[in-house]
Each structure stands twice: as structure tokens, then as C-alpha cells.
Structure 1
């Protein structure tokens, strides 16, 4: 088995993404922390999103064989969520205020000789590639329908002639703030936030390894962008195919370059010039 991994900071102050690497358990994952809209800072000026992804990372990487015996990935994600809640309580976070919570999306897998277990929360994604080069999207982007609302406002404003990213951001910020109230509800999306309601919205399951050639786990910072006015393509298929033909590192380099040439986010509507980018590409030899 061959692994290629990366986690690169975007244009924000902290890399709020993280990798989960627990080789003894063959447990691998990616995390995408999100900063609370109430400006909390940790003892070293860390954002809530950074703290969330690091707390969850440390939990999964601390697990040993005896910790996972007779349990499944859903139960482990619930325990990670409890750990996150406990850390927020210690920091004095008001848990009843959704906009104050430290949050993170997650894609997690555990590999065995015959199958792969997975769990997913939010918009981190998992794809499988088979020996005939068939690409299978294992997970679902649970945040896409929320993002579409904000991106529609962004594109409409570009159409009205607004050309500065800062002005565009001010237009969508109230919508994004409102979306926080929908975390872990039937109207919204799943996210690790310390809320017990997450337990009802974790997606998890098992795929077998018959003819399985590789697996890809990514945060949304690696998603390819769609040009303004164009219908989006199957982005997971698109990025998986490109990484298969080249490499995870080369794909990330290409995407960073594309973003640097569109700093006001006009050609490719998006909320940050460059989001943090984290991925794991696993090839079975």
C-alpha cells in the first residue's frame, strides 16, 4: 500500500485542515475545521476551526487496538464529538450558541484485508477507483445545497458589477451566519460541533476491496472550481481522474496557481482566494 498525503494552508491565518494518520489501526482521515463567527482565540491565538480539527485528529491518532475492538467508525466519531464538546466546555464556549461552536467536517476510513469501513460528516469526500478505472463517489457532499444559496448571491452581485472580493464577502456573510443555525438539523448539514444531534446525521458504511485499486480522501479546498455562469460538472470524478493520471501534489499545485490568477474570485466564484487543501491518496499495490 502506497500513501500520498498533503495538507497545505490557504490564504487564511491558520491551516484549519488536518490529516488523521493512525497506521497501526490502518485508520486514515481528513478534517476541515471551520472558524466560529464569534471570534474565539486559543492560548496561542488559534482559531476555533484549528482547535476543532486538532482535537479530533489527536483523538483518532491516540486510539489503540483495544480502543476500537467491538466498535464501529460511527461510534468513534461520536466519541470524537464528545471530546470536542468537553474541550469547548473547558474553554468557556457557550454551547447553546451555534455561531460560537468550534466545528469540523470529516472523512474517515479504516482499511482491512477484505473491506474498508468509512464515516463522513459535512463536505469532506471519499472516492474509490477500481482496476478497470471506474470511479465511485463513496460519500455525499452534505453542505453543497447550503453553499449554492451563497454562491448564487455572489454570482448575482458579480453580474451587477461588484468586482472586489471583500464587497462580495460582505453580501454573503449574513447568509452564512444564518446557515450556522442549521447545523445538525434536517434543514441543514452534518458537522462535528460537540452537539449530540450529530449522532443522527453521521454517514457510515462499508465497501469491499474486490478489484479496488485506490482510495482518495479530500477536504473541499481541493474541489475543482466552476467558471461563473457554467453548470458544475461531477467535481469528485473530475479531481479523482486528474489525481490518478498525475498526483495529489501536482493537482494541488495546479489549483493553487489557478486561484492565484483570480484573486477577486470573479472567474471562479468562491468565498476564499485559496482554501486550505488536505488529501490522502492510497494506492493498493
Structure 2
């Protein structure tokens, strides 16, 4: 198994967690409000609290969606206590913490696994050389592409990245306010109904499998920078290198050579990047 989680700044709002025969990858949404209520990063607080919950509960025999729903309730109660302590009665929708989520949980003999994907993180796998699949919800990606297009137009007019980013903040807040609504996108936050919209599945492994889970910051190596034209080729590269670090270095080199987001228009010069890659031989 290869694991990597690197923050683009001082605070890593991604998280990679592990339980018995299971793992999960989370990408906390960077705050768009003027203040952070849970330390330096509400997103970091959110993924850490959910990680604590999953670590304690992932081994339960309950359906995966039920476990996650109870986790939403668990973390929401802690968030409400935080708001009550600070005397806050109302927050704009875009100020509520949220995260993408990929969970993979295996049967005892590893001949079967189930998965749940919510938000814009991605899960890809190759099973027994016959089945290749990419599991990704592109709804949020479509909203982000609209914001990126407007950001890029400002950059082309000569605005600095910092100024252009401030100009599109109202758009980002509008999009964030659509989270967990029928007109928006579905993501892990404090609405249990969002879990019903997660992508869920089960797969059987007869001989071998390659499994890769990435947050969107790492997924940019394919979705934005096109360094690999398929997840199969990225997995082959990782398998050859026997680590995620080499792919991560390639990712950061591209971003460091385009700090103003001109060649590759995007919402952040660099984003937190996390992933898990594993191989199974039966």
C-alpha cells in the first residue's frame, strides 16, 4: 500500500484514515467565510472529527451508508456545541464545513470490497484485468469550471491571482451555498440526506486488484494537467515506482512552474493532495 497526504499550505485540510480492513480519504472544503470558528481551519476540524468517528465505528456490521449517516449526526452535535459556546445562532450556508469522502471497506478474506464516494474525490480500480472503473461525481467539478473560467478571464486582463480570486469570492460562496441541495451538489456535511446521493457499490475480487483513491488536489494530475490520460496509466506508473511520492513531485513541479494559474487555469495555485494506492493478490 502507498499512502500520501501533503498540504499545499501550513494546514492540511485533507485526511487519509485507516480502520480494520478499510481506509478513507477526505478533502475538507477550504472556508469561504471571514472567520474560522474551530481554530485555524474549520475544514481541518471537520475531517479530523469525522476521522475519529470512523475509526471507532467502521468495523460495525451496519451498512456503510448508515455508518456515515450516524457520523453526520455525531459531528453535527459537536459543531452545534461549538456554535453555542461562541453564541452564534446563524451562519450563512457557505460557512458550514464540508468535505468530499471516499471509503473502501473489505470483506475478511479481501475477496470483496464495498465503496462509498461523495463529492469530488475519485476512486479508481482495476479488478482481475477484466474490470476497470472510475467512480467520480462531476457535479461540483462543473460548478468549479464556471468559476475557473471567470477567474481566468480576470487573469487574462492582467489582474494578479490574488485580486482575481477576491473578485470571484461571491461566485464561490454562491456555489458553496448550493451544497446538499437538488440544484447543487452532494457532499459530506451536516445533512444526512446527502449520504443517500453518494455513489455506492460492491465488487468481487477473484485474483487481483489495483485500487486508487485521490482527493481532487491530487486528481489534478489527470483532470487539470493531463500528465496521464487515464487512471490505469497513473496506477501503472505508481505500481512501477512503488510509491505515490514520485507522482506527487510531478504534480507540484507543474504547479510551481505556473504559480499564477495562467497555463493551467484553476482555483488554487496548489491544493492539498492526498491518495491511497493498494494492490491485492489472492
When the two structures are superposed, what TM-score results if normalisation uses the length of structure 1? Answer: 0.86
Q: 1:200 to 1:133 in 2, by over 3 A?
A: closer
Q: Say yes or no: does 1:5 pair with 2:3.
A: yes
Aligned mate of 2:36, from 35, 40, 52: 40
Q: What is the CA-CA distance between 1:281 and the residue it aligns to?
A: 0.5
Spell out, residue by residue over 1:163-186, the C-alpha distance to the aligned partner (whole angstroms, 9 max, x if none). Answer: x21022123211110012210111
Partner of 1:136: 133
Question: Contact between 2:212 and 2:275, CA under 8 Å: does it hold in 1?
Answer: yes
Tell me whether 1:150 sits opposite 2:150 in the alignment.
Answer: no
Displacement after TM superposition at 1:156 (Å): 2.4
1: distance between equivalents of 2:280 and 2:11? 33
Q: Which residue, 252, 266, 272 being the options, matches 1:270?
A: 266
> Which residue pairs with 2:70 in the alignment?
79
Q: Report the equivalent of 2:11.
A: 14
Whether 1:109 and 2:104 are equivalent positions in the alignment is yes
Q: Distance in 1 between matches of 2:223 and 2:23?
A: 32
For residues 210 and 186 of structure 1, do their structure 2 counterparts lie closer, same or farther at Cα, with a shift above 3 Å needed? farther
* Aligned-partner Cα distance in 2 for 1:141–1:209: 27
Match of 1:124 in 2: 121
Q: Does 1:194 align with 2:184?
A: no
Equivalence for 2:170? 174
Unaligned segments of structure 2, at least 5 residues: none
Residues 250, 225 of structure 1: alpha-carbon distance in 2 compared, 3 angstrom cutoff: closer
Contact (CA 8 Å) 1:226, 1:269: kept in 2 or not?
no
| Match in the other structure for 1:50 | 44
Equivalence for 2:95: 100
Secondary structure of 1:223 counterpart:
helix
Q: 1:156 to 1:210 in 2, by over 3 A?
A: farther
What is the count of residue pairs matched by the alignment? 273
Residues in 1 aligned to 2:129 and 2:204: alpha-carbon distance in whole angstroms = 16
Question: What is the aligned counterpart of 1:62 among 44, 56, 62?
Answer: 56
**Normalized against structure 2, the TM-score is what?**
0.87
Residue 232 of structure 1 deviates from its aligned partner by: 11
Moved over 6 A (4+): 230-233
Aligned CA-pair RMSD: 2.6
